[in-house]
Structure 1
Amino acid sequence: MIKGLYEAHLPVSNLNRSIVFYEGLGLQFDHKVDDRLAFLWIEKDKSWLGLWETDKVEVEYHPSIRHIAFQVTLDDLKNSVVWLENKGYKPREAFGFDPIEPFVMPHEEYAHAKIHFNDLDGNSLELICKLENPKKIKQRMYLSEWEQINEI
């Protein structure tokens, strides 16, 4: 029955400023509702992000309520730190990894490579892609180390 995630929502303190921020990430603005809510396509006609202007953005961050992970290609992820910095966005530390490059969190059959950063209101954003884990690696590491071990 469920085919995927259609929408997710984040609180923002300034809707127009946040629209510009997310457009800078490549999302496509679709429409506003009552100058308090905006919808931007993550993937046109497939999934979108709702931004709600509110004075409640000071709610303490927790990934269960203020986190979005955007799927990207491995090639794009490899260039993500430079891409983010060129746009004026700062990658941040996550899971003990400095934001010098993406890092990998392995599971049994697969792994995820990722980099984290925040939006203008401190909402946690992530660029992520799924990787194969042919050697069943269990240790977290930087992507360059992962590629060297897996001879990619």
Structure 2
Amino acid sequence: MIKGIFETHLNVTDLEKSHHFYEQIVGLRHAYGQQERGNSFYWIGGEGNAMLGLWQKDPAEVQRQHFAFQVALEDMKQAVTYLDDKGIKTHNFLDDDIGELYVFGWMPAVSVYFTDPDGHSLEFISMLPDEAKPELGMVPWSEWEKMHGRVKEDTA
């Protein structure tokens, strides 16, 4: 019966700042808003596909949440550079500062994390075309690509 999640909502402290972030930084298309009610809605993946709603609230009503945006694998290859160019600090799942994204072997998928102006944890994630390998746990993306013959190993 359920085919996906159509919408999710976040409470934010500054609707204008969040509007700028989600439209100009993340790249979502504005769908609708009611300034008098303190809300703004954004299409995800094209009109009618999915939606993100933002609601301006008192800071005491804003609790940190997490959600992930699905992106194409080709876009994931540029995601860190894209976000860095917009002044957004990124990190991997382990937040280990090695400067490399990880693959969740059980899916398998690769992702990068960042935060919005209210500290909500956001993620760009891309499914990989490979068979899941849950026994590997988390693997640096470069290692995963080597295991699947997409990157030549150094022979020096």
CA distance in 2, matches of 1:135, 1:92: 23
Provide the alpha-carbon RMSD of the alignment.
2.0
Matched to 2:11, the amino acid is P
The aligned counterpart of 1:113 is 110
> Which residue in 2 is equivalent to 1:100?
99
Identity %: 38
Total equivalences in the alignment: 146
TM-score, normalised to structure 1's length?
0.85
> Residue 146 in 1 paired to residue 144 in 2?
yes
How far off is 1:141 after superposition?
1.7
Gaps of 5+ in 2: 151-156
Structure (1/2) with the larger helix percentage? 2
Contact kept, 8 Å, 1:81 with 1:101, in 2: the verdict is no
Structure 1 partner of 2:120 = 123
Match of 2:41 among 18, 21, 39: 39
Kindly provide the amino acid, as one letter, of the partner of residue 59 in structure 2.
K
Which residues of 2 match residues 8-23 of structure 1 at below 5 A?
Answer: 8-23=8-23
User: Structure 1: 5+ residue runs without aligned partners?
Assistant: none
Deviates more, 1:3-12 or 1:129-138: 129-138
Equivalent residue, structure 2, for 1:3: 3
Deviation at 1:59, TM superposition (A): 5.0
| CA apart distance, 1:82 | 0.6
Residue number in structure 2 paired with 1:27: 28
**Over residues 58-112 of structure 1, what are the superposed CA-to-partner deviations in whole Å (9 max), with x where a residue is unaligned?**
7553xxxx111000111111111111001111103533443723211111xx411
SS across alignment from 1:45: coil
Q: Determine which structure has more spread, i.e. the larger CA radius of gyration.
A: 2
Tell me the amino acid that sits aligned with residue 103 of structure 1: Y
TM score, norm. by length of structure 2: 0.83
- Return structure 1 stretches of 4+ with deviation > 4 angstroms: 57-60
In structure 2, the CA distance between the partners of 1:146 and 1:105, relative to structure 1 (3 Å rule), is same
Amino acid at match of 2:108: A
Distance 1:145 1:18 in 2: 36
**Aligned residue in 2 for 1:90:** 89
* Whole-angstrom CA distance in 2 between matches of 1:15 and 1:105: 33
Aligned in 2, Cα 1:15/1:94: closer, same or farther, shift over 3 Å? same
Higher strand proportion:
1
